[in-house]
Amino acid sequence: MVRLRSLGQRIFAQLDRPARVVVVAFGSALVVGTLLLALPVATESRESVSLVVASFTAASAICVTGLVVVDTPTHWSTFGELVILGLVQVGGFGIMTLASLFGLLVTGRLRLRTRLVTQAETKSLGPGAARRVVVGVVRTSLLFEAATALVLIPRLALGYGEPWGRATYLGVFHAISAFNNAGFSLYPDSLERYAADPWILLPVALAVIAGGLGFPVLLELRRELLKPAKWSMHTKITLGTSGLLLALGMLAITAAEWTNPHTLGGMSIPARLLNGFFHAVMPRTAGFNSVDVGDMHPGTWLFTDVLMFIGGGSAGTAGGIKVTTFALLAFVIWAELRGEPHVNVGRRRLPEDIQRQALAIALLSVGAVMACTLILLAITPFTLDKVLFEVISAFGTVGLSTGVTPELPAVGHVMLTALMFLGRLGPITLGAALALRSRARRYQLPEERPVVG
């Protein structure tokens, strides 16, 4: 007994860093989800699926991605669908956010260690803000999910003749999937059957945008919505960059697919604009589609790749390198082109460690995407544009697909599973969790400038 206690203390000591606990928690949820989906009761046929399929689906759900290797509504039973929905909700909350909420409900207060873990997951500004952030995360998530469901349910029941029970199930499932940027759908064609219905597409799109902004932004907007002068740098950058990317995305995708008879070409002008907007929102890492992505032009795929790689806001349900990382790198480049000694954003100076962190996240992400793309090109017959699209969709936890993911070999599915896990946690978090310890250097080396460019 003493040995077991000592072993437990040593294991916990190795998990004293919040980033490590986050990784272990997500990994544990992935294992539990895999085991539940591997049960015979989780499938319509009452036959167990392979661990590769179960783990891929569980990772796609807990990492709020939406990529699938089997058709969700026809392959999984109601039990399996509820497991997927539960994993999506847990992944959206954040494992540590949910655990901190349970601790808050049971003890009425949060321990310092729990606060630090919550800070790592929610990106809150300080340990003392953890309690407020946890409660705010839960309230905000449930509010947006309930509002979206309340729009979808009557539309499905009254507009499409769904029984109220079935309409409620569909509305709640898609509302949770939308706000958490998961992209799982209970229709084989995702939302293509609703391509001309703004009462379905717009609520889903708005829920995706809200979830993709990130919890810190949503919480700040709730307090200071009408006082933009008091918004933090993070909120201003997230809103400004997100709005710019959304506008450019809608313009580029709508123009590229305007005459494509397989996507927007056969629709009315209002429907084209609606679907152009919808597909500009989805690369924020949602994964729903109202037209067949596989029928889009390669140029549209490439532009979507860029949007998926950038992703959405930090500390939310979106993936990618995040819009703040993208914007900060743009500010760094602009300052360098102007010869400025410091990087300034508005009336604030950007710390050097934040610049290094943004650069590290971007380069590590590019490396991960390129490595997986090269491997998949070597082991599959698919072309570069399709492979790159699937890889970025997995890394950015998006879920959009050209249709080749189910046809990948088991090795490819395992690789995309790992990539989704990496994309959800972030290269920096995962690296910090795996590092043994940080080292402080007590001296500085002489400076020397190499030739650049």
Read off the pLDDT of residues 15-61 as tens digits, 9 standing for 90 and up. 445 566 777 788 889 999 999 999 999 999 999 999 999 999 999 99
Do 373 and 388 contact (CB within 8 A), yes or no? yes
If one compares 245 and 133, the residue with the highest pLDDT of the two is 245
Do 223 and 197 contact (CB within 8 A), yes or no? no
The residue-averaged pLDDT of 261-286 equals: 93
Strand 348-349, strand 344-345: pairing: antiparallel
How far apart are alpha carbons 66 and 298 in whole angstroms? 22
Give residue 134's pLDDT: 74
Give residue 381's pLDDT: 94
Give residue 390's pLDDT: 96
How far apart are alpha carbons 293 and 389 in whole angstroms? 10
Amino acid at 294: G
Give residue 388's pLDDT: 96
The residue-averaged pLDDT of 156-173 equals: 96
With a CB cutoff of 8 Å and minimum separation 6, the contacts of 305 are 388, 389, 392
What are the tens digits of pLDDT across the range 124-149? 545 555 666 677 778 888 999 999 99
Is the pLDDT confidence value at 334 over 50? yes
Greatest distance between any 2 Cα atoms in the chain:
75
Give residue 111's pLDDT: 53
Give the mean pLDDT of the chain. 84
pLDDT over 90, % of the chain: 57
Domain borders along the chain are 14-433
If one compares 193 and 450, the residue with the highest pLDDT of the two is 193
Do 328 and 237 contact (CB within 8 A), yes or no? yes
Helix then strand then coil, in percent of the chain rounded to 5, is 70, 0, 30
How far apart are alpha carbons 215 and 179 in whole angstroms? 11
Give residue 250's pLDDT: 96
**3-state class of 340 per DSSP?**
coil
Run of H or E residues at 355:
helix 352-379
What are the tens digits of pLDDT across the range 417-451? 999 988 887 765 655 554 444 556 677 778 777 87
What are the tens digits of pLDDT across the range 372-385? 999 999 999 999 99
Do 316 and 212 contact (CB within 8 A), yes or no? yes
Is the pLDDT confidence value at 14 over 50? no
How many helices and strands in the chain, by DSSP H and E? 20, 2
Amino acid at 191: L
**If pLDDT is split at 50, 70 and 90, which confidence band does 115 have?**
low
With helix as H, strand as E and coil as C, how does 5-22 read?
Answer: HHHHHHHHHHCCCHHHHH
What are the tens digits of pLDDT across the range 275-325? 999 999 999 888 899 999 999 999 999 999 999 999 988 777 888 888 988
* Among the listed residues 92, 328, 133, 103, the one whose alpha carbon sits nearest the alpha carbon of residue 223: 133
Is the pLDDT confidence value at 239 over 70? yes
**If pLDDT is split at 50, 70 and 90, which confidence band does 233 have?**
confident
- Angstrom distances, CA of residue 243 to CA of 180, 232, 309, 313: 19, 17, 16, 11
Q: How many CB atoms lie within 10 A of CB 82?
A: 15
Which stretches of 188-232 are DSSP H helices? 198-213, 215-224
How far apart are alpha carbons 164 and 156 in whole angstroms? 8
If one compares 4 and 64, the residue with the highest pLDDT of the two is 64
What are the tens digits of pLDDT across the range 69-89? 999 999 999 999 999 999 999
Do 76 and 44 contact (CB within 8 A), yes or no? yes
